[in-house]
């Protein structure tokens, strides 16, 4: 069932209420800040790669990132994808002092995913057509990508500033994956961009767990094919609520 305006507004009110509760624990400093960053560094790296098909489990990702120990039976590509995402995550936190994300920021984060990319494609726009199975949507040609990305960051995204920050972040995510600017790593780059905007505004990063992978993909496809992003935005709002609740629970413990 399509998510209606009333449901969206109700979720935004819930997000704002939870945000007020979290405000009582700010500013996050010392050990709390360290633990929060470690928590999301692991969680976002694992979930973002798992959604794209990585076989690394959460515990295996933790061993790799925190102990530097590779896991037997995993491909070099999967291992480097996890390390590359963690590096991009660290870069994301250098952008917290400003509001908004630029085209250069996205290209830089994508370049840091290089370990999991095809050779020579990281941080560069694709030069070939997109072949994605399971969707009737026709992605832009490679020749259109540079202008579309420039327009996105110079015109489209500035038009989102009047929206609630969580809505802004969801729309930015959707726009990036719809342009599909890279030969690989589009989903990971889009989720990094989304979470950059969220943390810049003081919200918790959103994780797309493997258990909701199909719902996530289906809602994106509807947004692309039908031009209606209500279900996708509803999913992102729901996941922001879950992230806020989880951090409140962890703080309470």
Q: Give the C-alpha separation, 172 to 183, whole Å.
A: 19
Residue 251's pLDDT is what? 87
Instruction: Name the residues annotated as catalytic.
Output: 180
pLDDT, mean over the chain: 93
Query: What are 184-227's pLDDT values in tens digits?
Result: 999 999 999 999 999 999 999 999 999 999 999 999 999 999 99
Residue 69 has pLDDT above 80, yes or no: yes
Q: What is the pLDDT at residue 117?
A: 56
CB 77 within 8 A of CB 55: no
Least confident interval from 87-96, 117-126, 172-181, 231-240 = 117-126
- The residue-averaged pLDDT of 230-245 equals 97
Phi/psi of residue 120, nearest 5 degrees:
85, 5
Quick one: pLDDT at residue 134?
74
Q: Report whether pLDDT(170) > 90.
A: yes
- To the nearest whole percent, how much of the chain has pLDDT over 90? 81
pLDDT at 115: 60
Which residue bears the tokens 């009110």? 13
For position 2, what pLDDT does the model report? 63
Closest CA to 140 of 154, 153, 150, 126: 126
pLDDT digits (tens, 9 = 90+) for 81-129: 999 999 999 999 999 888 899 999 999 999 998 765 555 788 999 999 9
**What CATH code would you report for 24-252?**
1.10.3290.10
């Amino acid at each position: 069932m399509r998510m209606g305006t009333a449901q969206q507004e109700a979720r935004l009110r819930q997000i704002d209420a939870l945000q007020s509760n979290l405000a009582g624990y700010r500013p996050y400093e010392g050990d709390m800040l360290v633990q929060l960053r470690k928590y999301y560094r692991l969680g976002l790296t694992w979930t973002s790669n798992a959604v794209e098909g990585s076989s690394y489990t959460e515990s295996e990702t933790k061993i790799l990132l925190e102990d530097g120990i590779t896991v037997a039976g995993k491909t070099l590509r999967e291992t480097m994808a996890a390390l590359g995402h963690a590096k991009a995550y660290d870069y994301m936190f250098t952008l917290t002092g400003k509001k908004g994300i630029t085209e250069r920021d996205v290209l830089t984060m994508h370049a840091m995913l290089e370990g999991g990319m095809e050779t020579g494609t990281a941080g560069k726009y694709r030069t070939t057509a997109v072949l994605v199975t399971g969707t009737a949507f026709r992605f832009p040609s490679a020749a259109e990508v540079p202008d579309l990305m420039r327009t996105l960051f110079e015109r489209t995204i500035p038009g989102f500033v009047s929206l609630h920050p969580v809505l802004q972040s969801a729309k930015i995510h959707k726009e990036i994956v719809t342009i599909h600017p890279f030969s690989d790593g589009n989903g990971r780059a889009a989720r990094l961009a989304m979470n950059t905007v969220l943390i810049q505004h003081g919200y918790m990063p959103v994780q797309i767990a493997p258990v909701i992978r199909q719902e996530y993909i289906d809602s994106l496809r509807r947004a692309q094919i039908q031009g209606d992003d209500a279900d996708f935005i509803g999913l992102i709002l729901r996941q922001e609520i879950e992230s806020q609740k989880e951090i409140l629970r962890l703080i309470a413990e």
